[in-house]
Amino acid sequence: MQTFFQIVLNGLMLGGIFAIISVGLTLIFGIVKVVNFAHGEFLMVGMYATWLLTTKMGLHPYVTVAGVVPLLFLLGVLTQRFLIQPLMAARDDHVQIFATVGLSTALMNLALMVFGADIANTPAHGLRAPIEAGPVRMLTGQLWILVAAVALVIGLRAFLARTNTGRAIRAVAQNRAAAKLMGINVDAIYMLTFGIGAACVGLGSALIAPLYPTSPTIGTYFVLTAFVVVVLGGLGSITGAFAGAMVIGLLDALSGFYIGSDVREAVVFGVFLLILILRPSGLFGTRAVLAHVS
């Protein structure tokens, strides 16, 4: 029984990592209606920025949030303004998808040119220290990631529900044309939303970097699962992204222990296929979910 509780706890901790990455991804889709295939490379950029700030300036990884989050916000805004926005009028929505795939490839190869293929390890500063809670144990960094994921979801929901800017974002999600007629600057909302989504993954990168080695391909490892999480939770649903992350984290941990670590990805993506077949809208997915602060 102790082993089972430890596995469940490991799954929840892993779910926290997936959640903090997936929230920004689902926010961008819910508003801009673009699947950002460069989301994993945004994570990679943030992790390298965290590594540089900790190794070159001696900062604690969590202190680097003050620099990494604005950096990723700016990257998101520039991506929307100069890459996505010029393609918004295109009749074929696939053009925008291809643009983010191209950005993903460009960022990955740029990282290979600058940093090489070697792995960069961010100093942990005690974040790998174990915490024992009765019969189970976890890493300090894992606990902080889970706390940050919960706080991020609550904060985003409050922002969307209680601020004028949040209401404007929800209005654009519900009906872009009507929002424009009401005087809302839709293009500015798109840039802001893309920036916030990228800033979310910037927060995640600063939290994850001390626990995982950084490499040019690290984003691919996380973002593939993040797509499964977003589909499971419902495209555009912040709450769904968190719930989906917890489910996928538990599935990953349980299947890895009871079935085999070499097939756990097959289980996760098998669930992905089942959701697409049985409930394409996901667990929390409804029409214009962000318009209702899901």
User: Which tokens in the block code for residue 180?
Assistant: 């424009």
pLDDT-flagged residues of the chain (< 50)? 287-288
Task: Indicate the pTM of the whole model.
Answer: 0.93
The answer to whether position 8 is within a domain reads: yes
Return the pLDDT at 235. Answer: 80
How many C-beta neighbours within 10 Å does residue 1 have? Answer: 6
How many C-beta neighbours within 10 Å does residue 113 have? Answer: 9
Domain that holds residue 265: 2-117+135-292
The answer to whether position 113 is within a domain reads: yes
Q: Are 193 and 28 in contact (CB under 8 A)?
A: yes
The answer to whether position 184 is within a domain reads: yes
The answer to whether position 127 is within a domain reads: no
Where residue 103 sits, what CATH number does that domain have? 1.10.3470
The answer to whether position 129 is within a domain reads: no
Q: Strands, E, within the chain: which ranges?
A: 130-133, 136-139
How many angstroms separate the CA atoms of 6 and 13, rounded? 11
Return the pLDDT at 280. Answer: 79
Return the pLDDT at 107. Answer: 96
The answer to whether position 251 is within a domain reads: yes
Concatenated DSSP letters for 174-202? H-HHHHHHTT--HHHHHHHHHHHHHHHHH
Q: What are the percentages of helix, strand and coil residues in the chain, rounded to 5? A: 75, 5, 25
The answer to whether position 28 is within a domain reads: yes
Return the pLDDT at 7. Answer: 92
Per the structure, how many domains does the chain have?
A: 1
Length reported for the chain: 294
**Axis-axis angle for helices 218-233, 39-57 (nearest 10):** 130
The answer to whether position 189 is within a domain reads: yes
User: Which tokens in the block code for residue 74?
Assistant: 């700016």
How many angstroms separate the CA atoms of 184 and 181, rounded? 7
Return the pLDDT at 286. Answer: 54
